[in-house]
């Protein structure tokens, strides 16, 4: 019988054993979120951003059916360059392992695997959420329900602006997922600094986030995730007029081409990349690098707090 246990990269295994700070990173952004060949270069830059801030990066993915926490460079290169890499949510992990697939983990799958591995902080670009027209299609990302039952802090720039942001926040509230703004009481809109919605809570330092995580763990009452919404500075966002025009065009093309389900997000992101002549890609890269840096500083603060006797 095949051994389906999670495999750990040497650097990550040593860091977890020693209680040093580790940050989980998804692989879907590498395989499906960024165009080649920029995807591999950016993936390496993301890992370096985590290291530069004092933590160990743990990019998660599946290689030939083996679930790996802490892909090495050869494995990362494989997911970035080969065709046929499967996009894996939580429900897909066991089937993909049994069939020997190469797979890239989504926010949901990365969160679940990271928590199982004992990693408490995860950096991504933007969350999935409730899709537009979800009242008719029931199309909602598995990210939301997974975060409702997974004790992990996710540093992101809100949810992708191509989604129904207001409905997503309502679902997060219903599911009991805590959301805090980093240095803001406004929910960021991924490409945009301000997504148009207020937040009840704001934190101003990695140490404050670490304190939130410590309180959650010591209360032992709520086991859900914490979303740390980290907005881009205004001067680094995508031009709002260009964003709104591109989004309207993309939604019209979706309807024209009959695109639904899992294909919606990559279709719209590809349209943004094309219609903005690469400007959205540059913003996307800034987002994930900033989030990787913040997540690493949160992991460092949390590890330091854990080292102090309660």
CA distance 303 to 16: 11
**11 annotated active-site:** no
Closest CA to 287 of 184, 188, 143: 188
The one catalytic residue in 47, 87, 140, 160 is: 160
**277 annotated active-site:** no
Contacts of 287 (CB under 8 A, 6+ apart): 125, 126, 157, 190, 232
The one catalytic residue in 26, 47, 87, 140 is: 26
CA distance 33 to 236: 20
Contacts of 103 (CB under 8 A, 6+ apart): 27, 61, 62, 85, 86, 87, 88, 92, 93, 96
**Strand-pair category, 103-105 with 86-88:** parallel
Burial of residue 211 (CB within 10 Å: 0-12, 13-18, 19+) is middle
Contacts of 266 (CB under 8 A, 6+ apart): 32, 33
Q: Which residues are designated catalytic?
A: 26, 160
């Amino acid at each position: 019988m095949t051994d389906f246990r999670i495999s750990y990269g040497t650097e990550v295994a040593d860091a977890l054993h020693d209680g040093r700070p580790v940050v989980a990173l998804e692989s879907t952004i590498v395989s499906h979120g960024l165009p080649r060949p920029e995807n591999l270069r950016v993936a390496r830059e993301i890992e370096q951003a985590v290291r530069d801030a004092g933590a160990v990066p743990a990019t998660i993915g599946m290689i030939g059916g083996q679930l790996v926490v802490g892909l090495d460079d050869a494995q990362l290169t494989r997911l970035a360059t080969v065709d046929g890499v499967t996009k894996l949510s939580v429900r897909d992990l066991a089937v993909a392992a049994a069939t020997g697939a190469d797979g890239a983990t989504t926010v949901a799958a990365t969160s679940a695997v990271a928590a199982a591995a004992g990693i408490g902080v995860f950096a991504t670009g933007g969350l999935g959420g409730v899709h537009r027209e979800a009242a008719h299609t029931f199309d909602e990302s598995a990210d939301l329900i997974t975060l409702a039952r997974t004790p992990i802090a996710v540093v992101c720039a809100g949810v992708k602006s191509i989604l129904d942001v207001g409905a997503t926040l309502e679902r997060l509230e219903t599911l009991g997922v805590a959301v805090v703004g980093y240095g803001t009481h406004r929910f960021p809109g991924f490409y945009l600094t301000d997504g148009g919605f207020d937040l009840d809570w704001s934190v101003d330092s990695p140490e404050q986030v670490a304190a939130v995580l410590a309180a959650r763990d010591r209360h032992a009452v709520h086991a859900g995730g914490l979303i740390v919404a980290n907005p881009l500075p205004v001067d680094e966002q995508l031009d709002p007029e260009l964003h709104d025009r591109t989004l309207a065009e993309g939604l019209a093309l979706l309807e024209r081409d009959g695109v639904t389900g899992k294909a919606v997000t990559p279709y719209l992101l590809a349209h943004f990349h094309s219609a903005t002549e690469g400007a959205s890609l540059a913003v996307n890269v800034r987002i994930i690098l900033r989030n990787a840096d913040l997540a690493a500083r949160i992991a460092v603060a949390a590890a330091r707090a854990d080292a102090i006797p309660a």
